[in-house]
Amino acid sequence: MRVSLTVNGRPQEADDVWEGESLLYVLRERLGLPGSKNACEQGECGSCTVRLDGVPVCACLVAAGQAEGRDVVTVEGLADHARQRAEGGGTRGTGGSETGTPLRDAQRWKAEGGDSRTGEGTELSPIQQAFLEAGAVQCGFCTPGLLVMADELLERNPNPADADIREALCGNLCRCTGYEKIMDAVRLAASR
């Protein structure tokens, strides 16, 4: 079947989608957006977290057909999403406009054009920049999901207590950092 949806502010279509396929598979394999990670495919790790009509969900548990006509933001569009929020104080309109992140840019997205260790010269969202500066990234596999989740937390609650951060991130597993640097990163982003 064909699935039409908005990804990072731009309309996209995926063809030959199997009816039992997940949104995560569509994003990674059909649209070539590998930012959302596939680790467990059972909702346990949070590394596939995306925004679906603004709501953070595990993309591995959304059936592709359920995403038809809906608005998805992935980590590749997070910088743009955060910029628009800062500028307009609102959410992006769906489809068609010049706003959003084109698929080709999203596919090629990496922290380039500068120093990938400091993020200098690259457009990053405040939460991405804070993760780099706080040393909250080791292997990076959990990072996209944590970024999407933490960004949404700060959107709702710009001044979270530690308990709020822990609660918001309790569905995202990290096997490297021990979480302390991740906590530091969210506190840092909130303080700015």
Partner 1 sequence: MDFLRPASWEEALAAKAEHPAAVPIAGGTDVMVEINFGHRRPDHLLDLNRIGELAEWESGADSVRLGASVPYAAIMENLRAELPGLALASHTVASPQIRNRGGVGGNLGTASPAGDAHPALLAAGAEVEAESAARGSRRIPIDDFYTGVKRNALAPDELIRAVHIKKADGPQQYSKVGTRNAMVIAVCAFGLALHPATRTVRTGIGSAAPTPVRAKTAEEFLNAALEEDGLWDNGETITPSVAQRFADLCAAACNPIDDVRGTAGYRRRAVGVMARRTLTWTWESYRGTRRTLKGAA
Ligand X SMILES: Cc1cc2nc3c(=O)[nH]c(=O)nc-3n(C[C@H](O)[C@H](O)[C@H](O)COP(=O)(O)OP(=O)(O)OC[C@H]3O[C@@H](n4cnc5c(N)ncnc54)[C@H](O)[C@@H]3O)c2cc1C
Give the span between the Cα atoms of 160 and 137, in whole angstroms.
Answer: 21
The radius of gyration of the chain from alpha carbons, rounded to an integer in Å, stands at: 16
Q: Which residue in the block uniquely carries the two structure tokens 């495919």?
A: 41
Q: List Cα–Cα distances, 162 to 151, 156, 167, 191, in angstroms.
A: 15, 15, 9, 13
Selected binder of partner 1 within 26, 62, 146, 147 (CB under 8 A) = 62
| 14, β-bridge pairs | 3
Q: Residue with the closest Cβ to ligand X?
A: 43
Selected binder of partner 1 within 11, 34, 39, 66 (CB under 8 A) = 66
Selected binder of partner 1 within 5, 31, 33, 57 (CB under 8 A) = 57
Give the span between the Cα atoms of 163 and 173, in whole angstroms.
Answer: 17
Q: Which residue in the block uniquely carries the two structure tokens 């991130």?
A: 169
With a CB cutoff of 8 Å and minimum separation 6, the contacts of 116 are 110, 122
Should residue 178 be labelled a site residue for partner 1 when binding is judged by CB under 8 A? no
Should residue 65 be labelled a site residue for partner 1 when binding is judged by CB under 8 A? yes
Tokens of 57: 């969900």
Closest-CA residue to 51 (of 156, 129, 190, 160): 156
Nearer to partner 1, 54 or 114 (CB): 54
Should residue 144 be labelled a site residue for ligand FES when binding is judged by CB under 6 A? no
Choose the one of ligand X, partner 1, ligand FES, none that binds residue 107, judging by a C-beta under 5 to 8 angstroms depending on kind: none
Interface of this chain with ligand FES, residues 22 to 61, rule: CB under 6 A: 38-41, 43-48, 58, 60
Choose the one of ligand X, partner 1, ligand FES, none that binds residue 168, judging by a C-beta under 5 to 8 angstroms depending on kind: partner 1
Nearer to partner 1, 33 or 64 (CB): 64
Selected binder of partner 1 within 13, 120, 167, 180 (CB under 8 A) = 167
Tokens of 128: 């991405």
Task: Write down the least CB distance from residue 191 to ligand FES, Å.
Answer: 22
